[in-house]
Chains A and B, each alone.
Chain A
Amino acid sequence: MAKMEEKDIAIQITGLKKRYRLGVIGGGTLAGDLQSWWARIRHKEDPNSKVGSKTYGKNETFMALDGIDLTVYKGERIGIIGHNGAGKSTLLKLLSRVTGPTEGEIKLDGRISSMLEVGTGFNGELTGRENIYLNGAILGMTKAEIDGKIDKIIEFSECAQFIDTPVKRYSSGMYVKLAFAVASHLDSEILIMDEVLAVGDMAFQKKCLEKMSQVSKDEGRTILYVSHNMNTIRQLCDRCIVMNHGKIIYNGGVEEAIGIYLDVEKNQQEMHISYENERRPIYIGDNFMIKLMGFDLLNRSEYVFYPDEKIEFQLKAHCFLDCENISLRAELKNREGQAISSAFIPLLKQATANEDYTIPFSMDLSCFRPDRYTVTFVLFQMNDISKASMEFDVVFRGFSFELRQNENIFWNTKYWGNTALNFLEKK
């Protein structure tokens, strides 16, 4: 990196900040604003502020980006990772000039084109071909440039057969393919992408990643790519930054960055997790008979486990009304949110109103394989006669943990699955 000179810089960001106002921004009607203004000069309470919303007053602000400094050299493929709300998308928005910064500046060398969303400006009534022209022009190409590339774009999109059909008749996959085909054939020197690869089938995703790598290597284009999918980051990027609370907390190698990112996620989970204010599904309502109040991880200080270990924890519940035959269902979900398995456990034969219950558990991990798991807890009552269950409480994100693999075995979870069951034996 040291031999890079100033002329090789593609993007230089210095002291970049973006501030958003919290609460309601500008009443929305002229009359409302005048009312607020009139109240303010008389030192009266704003008639348009919500009752009890003192906590997020009009002048409170939130720094979506809090001082970003970043230099990107030409031909680099930079991955940007961070949990939701870290400021990744805001950074991309500023770079693509969708909105302006509050402080600091961005210097760009080269045309920039952004794909914050695929198919921006697509019109359902127009045919695929017409949309290629429209979308290409929105992304900054001239008609002549598109003319020269249209055959390549159509071929890449795999939609040649339907190219003269209105896109509203397309399947969502075809739509995405067409949109990506246009965007990836742009001539711009800097390409910004926000999880556009999250859609489309596996084969097409692979094709897109290869295309991106190829344009970066062959034509020296710079790529900034935001994703929550670590595999695509690994495949595409050669440098990675980790963002947290509007700041860059790491800038360097991809694997190190992913490690730091996962730690950031993990550290945000305390040993004690309160469920009291956790959002419940609507059908649960607000009048609980019995409610899960919290979770404690026992005998451990972090949420990292190995398959030969057990997770020991306890759940706290509060009973509001007398009820009986309460059972617990624990649903284990993998990183993609797919349910892997569920356990049904009878919990309380008889629960008494205004009573607190603390119930210890032990979770066996021996048949699960490396991934990041989330456990959902459901309290329910089984009706003995109809055999139907009635749900009393649901906590979707009970807790999350990282299951690592024992060093001697390599398990490829993505292709081999989340569980290791002994279903086959040699006769």
Chain B
Amino acid sequence: MEKKWTAVIKPKKKLLDLNLKETFKYRDLIWLFVARDFKTRYKQTILGPLWFIIQPLMASVIHTLVFGQIAGLSTDGVPQFLFYLAGSITWGLFSGALTATSNTFVSNAGVFGKVYFPRLTTPIATSITQIFNFLIQFAIFGGTALVFFFLPDEHFRVTWVAALTPILVIQLALLGLGFGIIISSLTTKYRDLQVLVGFGVQLWMYITPIVYTSNELIVDGVVSKLYVAMMLNPVSSIVELFKYGWLGAGSTPWLFWGISWVTTFVVLIFGILIFNKIEKNFMDTV
């Protein structure tokens, strides 16, 4: 009778041997990682968790000054501060998930080198942490919006698209996770990418309608090539929908949102495949 083994360790893994089932078995670990991140993040700081709120507020103040007042970019008639706050928190979710997961292997080398657990749990936990961060900031956004609602001469409207928010949030996190794990897999060998992530993400923000609206690129109802290029950036349509939903600013690029979902899945699947391939022997090269 052939013996049934719990596990067989062989030199090469099959490409599609993803072990997602095992990752699911470790779901408690994912939640404990999330809890750890929250508990330890702002220990021994004066302002503590207030930093979650201060960061987007400060960014919005600066954006209002620079892009709103000095450059005078259009916000489609929406209160500038609110417009930039919406941009900051959505962008913060994506870029946060990307940067935080992009150094998974290097920063966890110590633990990974000593004990086995499905490595994918770490970036997943990081992304979930980012979603929670976003929820806190989203509450602040809601509070601010309420204040502006009662101010005279400030106009914005909430549309039905706002109901898509949970999907948009999850998509942003998945997209950040996908790009992040691709980069983390490559940084095990090439450390340059860590530097690239730092300023790459900053530049990426400017090709995403964070501090401007996509309407600026539509001249007389005709979309420019620049508009198409900007919208092919998978983050753009998500941000646009979020801002349209909550503020009524910008447009509803449904087609590009569809393309964005395709991109999200391709990036995520490619990311998981490459992550899975690297995780086995990365200890020898890191």
Interface flag for A100 (CB, 8 Å):
yes
Interface flag for A327 (CB, 8 Å):
no
CB pair A26–B283 under 8 Å, yes or no, is no
Using known A-B contacts A98-B115, A108-B5, A108-B8, determine if residue A134 contacts B40 with beta carbons closer than 8 Å: no
Q: Which residues of A contact B8 (CB under 8 A)?
A: 105-108
Which segment, of A110-118, A294-302, A311-319, faces chain B?
A110-118
Interface flag for B157 (CB, 8 Å):
no
Interface mask (A7-35 → B, CB under 8 Å = 1, otherwise 0):
10100000000001000011011110100
CB pair B284–A137 under 8 Å, yes or no, is no
Interface flag for A248 (CB, 8 Å):
no
Interface flag for A102 (CB, 8 Å):
yes
Which segment, of B24-32, B71-79, B207-215, faces chain A?
B24-32
Q: Which residues of B contact A33 (CB under 8 A)?
A: 189-190
Interface flag for A125 (CB, 8 Å):
yes
Bound-state Cα–Cα, A39 to B117, Å: 40
CB pair A94–B9 under 8 Å, yes or no, is yes
Interface flag for A121 (CB, 8 Å):
yes
Bound-state Cα–Cα, A112 to B43, Å: 35
Chain B nearest Cβ from A130, distance in angstroms: 7
User: In the complex, which of the residues A7, A26, A130 contacts B189, with contact meaning CB atoms closer than 8 Å?
Assistant: A26
Bound-state Cα–Cα, A203 to B227, Å: 72
Within 8 A of A (CB), among B18-59: 26, 28-29, 31-33, 35-36, 39-40, 43
Q: Which residues of A contact B191 (CB under 8 A)?
A: 28-29
User: In the complex, which of the residues A28, A98, A126, A139 contacts B36, with contact meaning CB atoms closer than 8 Å?
Assistant: A126
CB pair A116–B285 under 8 Å, yes or no, is no
CB pair A97–B36 under 8 Å, yes or no, is no
Interface flag for B220 (CB, 8 Å):
no
CB pair B116–A25 under 8 Å, yes or no, is no
Using known A-B contacts A26-B189, A33-B190, A106-B8, determine if residue A125 contacts B40 with beta carbons closer than 8 Å: yes
- Smallest CB-CB separation from A116: which chain B residue? B114
Interface flag for B192 (CB, 8 Å):
yes
CB pair B115–A96 under 8 Å, yes or no, is yes
CB pair B39–A137 under 8 Å, yes or no, is no
Interface flag for B112 (CB, 8 Å):
yes
Interface flag for B202 (CB, 8 Å):
no
- Smallest CB-CB separation from A100: which chain B residue? B280
Q: Which residues of A contact B111 (CB under 8 A)?
A: 120-121, 138
Bound-state Cα–Cα, A134 to B117, Å: 12
Q: Which residues of B contact A107 (CB under 8 A)?
A: 3, 5, 7-9
Bound-state Cα–Cα, A312 to B69, Å: 91
Bound-state Cα–Cα, A116 to B112, Å: 11
- Smallest CB-CB separation from B280: which chain A residue? A100
Q: Which residues of B contact A141 (CB under 8 A)?
A: 28
Bound-state Cα–Cα, A110 to B7, Å: 8
Chain B nearest Cβ from A65, distance in angstroms: 12
CB pair A117–B29 under 8 Å, yes or no, is no
Interface mask (B234-270 → A, CB under 8 Å = 1, otherwise 0):
0000000000000000000000000000000000000
Q: List 18 A-B contacts (CB under 8 A).
A: A25-B284, A26-B189, A29-B190, A29-B191, A33-B189, A95-B9, A106-B9, A107-B3, A107-B9, A112-B7, A114-B114, A117-B115, A130-B39, A134-B32, A138-B115, A138-B117, A139-B117, A140-B117
Chain B residues with a Cβ under 8 A of chain A: 3-11, 13, 26, 28-29, 31-33, 35-36, 39-40, 43, 110-117, 189-193, 280-281, 283-285
List 14 additional A-B contacts (Cβ < 8 Å) besides A99-B283, A134-B32, A141-B28. Answer: A6-B3, A28-B189, A98-B113, A99-B284, A108-B8, A111-B6, A116-B113, A121-B115, A123-B36, A123-B40, A125-B39, A133-B32, A138-B111, A138-B117
Chain A residues with a Cβ under 8 A of chain B: 6-7, 9, 20, 25-26, 28-31, 33, 93-112, 114, 116-117, 120-121, 123, 125-126, 130, 133-134, 137-143
